[in-house]
């Protein structure tokens, strides 16, 4: 088994955190911390075979304890925003943690990104894997039901696969995702505006000035939000556009084709290094975030200094604020039902 671990520090309440390293025969490695399931490091080759770390993060646990960017973390119970921090299920209203103004973001301040997960290494046919589990108690961050969550992180021959599953004893909302920030250049601290992004989606969720969905879908073709043909992230990011102004750049949920099963949600290519990344998922949407609020001068790994747009996020997920919009596919999980979703990050060079 190509897997090892070492201590990564302790949380403020004294809980020990481990850092696991997965490796494959191609020389790729992934470091995953039990704190928030954080993807601390992920290496991938350039067109000349040179390996480099392609995700943003911190050298020590302290960086993650203080982090406000969700670098590399698993997020839930519900990724993205819930308007008004109010969840209505079966006629009952649950008040959730307000951690984004008057709204709820990424499961709340005490969401899954800030919890210590149980880790168990395994070997699978696809490669070395780490099974992360967490038990979220009834009422945590305002959510109903005791929720058992599992995330299986597998380092494959050409990337990283995440398989999520969950079960509950009471009706609740579940919409899990991962939040790595990618910069494929191998030059940490540089921006990602030269990355060429393709998203095979003709529609995205319309949002208001606080980035809460209005309940409408809007066509992106012919607008600065159109990535169907592959465009540099920085090519139109400063154009006069209300959606871009509201998000201070790209922070938009794209609706993928309705085909069930694993499908490509996006691909991104960095032309200098030749590194490329495909994102595949079983989820119906992908949130593209261009790192608009990374603090300038933020100390990162290996002496790197991050700033605005130093990395990009592609977060497969269900419809944002689904509980607040009857027309959106729901993210409700009930007792006896099984929640299962997959995200696959597949690297290529050209």
Average pLDDT over residues 321-343: 97
Q: Is the pLDDT of residue 335 over 60?
A: yes
Q: What are 196's two structure tokens?
A: 């060429």
Please report where in the chains the tokens 């103004």 appear, as a residue: 101
Q: Is the dihedral of CA 290, 245, 283, 257 positive or negative?
A: negative
Q: What is the pLDDT of residue 126?
A: 86
Instruction: pLDDT band for 1, please (50, 70, 90 cuts).
Output: low
Tens of pLDDT, residue by residue over 67-85, are 999 999 999 999 999 999 9
Q: Is the pLDDT of residue 252 over 70?
A: yes
Per the structure, the complete domain to which residue 185 belongs is given by 3-349
CA trace torsion 254, 260, 262, 266 (10° rounding): -20
Q: What are 27's two structure tokens?
A: 């020389």
Average pLDDT over residues 317-326: 96
Output the average pLDDT for the chain: 97
Cβ atoms < 10 Å from Cβ of 201: 23
Choosing from 140, 270, 278, 315, the catalytic residue is 315
Choosing from 104, 106, 113, 179, the catalytic residue is 179
| Bridging pattern class, strands 263-270 and 275-281 | antiparallel
Q: Is the pLDDT of residue 57 over 60?
A: yes
pTM here is: 0.97
Cα–Cα distance for residue pair 317/78, rounded to 1 Å: 9
Count of structural domains within the chain? 1
206 assigned to active site: no
- Please list, residue by residue across 75-99, b when 16 or more beta carbons sit within 10 angstroms of its beta carbon and e when fewer do: bbbbbbbbbebbbebeeeebebbbb
Q: Is the pLDDT of residue 109 over 80?
A: yes
Q: Is the pLDDT of residue 128 over 90?
A: no
Tens of pLDDT, residue by residue over 19-33, are 999 999 999 999 999
Domain CATH code at residue 71: 2.70.98.10
Cα–Cα distance for residue pair 322/81, rounded to 1 Å: 9
195 assigned to active site: no
Q: Is the pLDDT of residue 2 over 90?
A: no
Tens of pLDDT, residue by residue over 253-297, are 999 987 789 999 999 999 999 999 999 999 999 999 999 999 999
């Amino acid at each position: 088994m190509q897997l090892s671990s070492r201590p990564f520090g302790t949380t403020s309440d004294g809980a020990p955190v481990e850092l696991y390293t997965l490796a494959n025969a191609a020389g790729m490695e992934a470091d995953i911390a039990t704190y928030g399931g954080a993807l601390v490091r992920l290496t991938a080759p350039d067109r000349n075979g040179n390996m480099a770390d392609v995700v943003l993060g911190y050298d020590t646990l302290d960086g993650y304890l203080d982090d406000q960017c969700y670098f590399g973390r698993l997020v839930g119970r519900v990724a993205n925003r819930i308007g008004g921090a109010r969840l209505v299920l079966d006629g009952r209203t649950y008040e959730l943690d307000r951690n984004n103004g008057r709204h709820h973001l990424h499961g709340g301040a005490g969401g899954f990104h800030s919890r210590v997960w149980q880790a168990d290494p395994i070997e699978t046919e696809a490669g070395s894997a780490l099974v992360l589990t967490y038990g979220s108690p009834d009422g945590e961050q305002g959510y109903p039901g005791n929720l058992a969550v599992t995330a299986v992180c597998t380092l494959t021959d050409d990337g990283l696969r995440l398989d999520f599953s969950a079960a509950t004893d009471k009706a609740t909302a579940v919409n899990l995702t991962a939040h790595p920030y990618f910069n494929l250049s191998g030059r940490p601290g540089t921006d990602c505006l030269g990355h060429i992004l393709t998203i095979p989606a003709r529609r995205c969720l319309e949002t208001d000035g606080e980035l809460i969905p209005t309940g409408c879908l809007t066509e992106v073709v012919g607008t600065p939000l159109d990535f169907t043909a592959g465009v540099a992230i920085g090519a139109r990011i400063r154009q006069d556009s209300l959606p871009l102004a509201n998000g201070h750049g790209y922070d938009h949920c794209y609706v993928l084709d309705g085909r069930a099963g694993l499908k490509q949600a996006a691909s991104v290519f960095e032309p200098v290094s030749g590194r490329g990344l495909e994102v595949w998922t079983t989820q119906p949407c992908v949130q593209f975030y261009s790192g608009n609020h990374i603090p300038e001068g933020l100390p990162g790994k290996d002496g790197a200094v991050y700033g605005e747009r130093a990395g990009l996020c592609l977060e497969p997920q269900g419809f944002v604020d689904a509980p607040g919009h009857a027309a959106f596919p729901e993210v409700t999980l009930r007792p006896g039902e099984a929640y299962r979703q997959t995200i696959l990050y597949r690297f290529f060079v050209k």
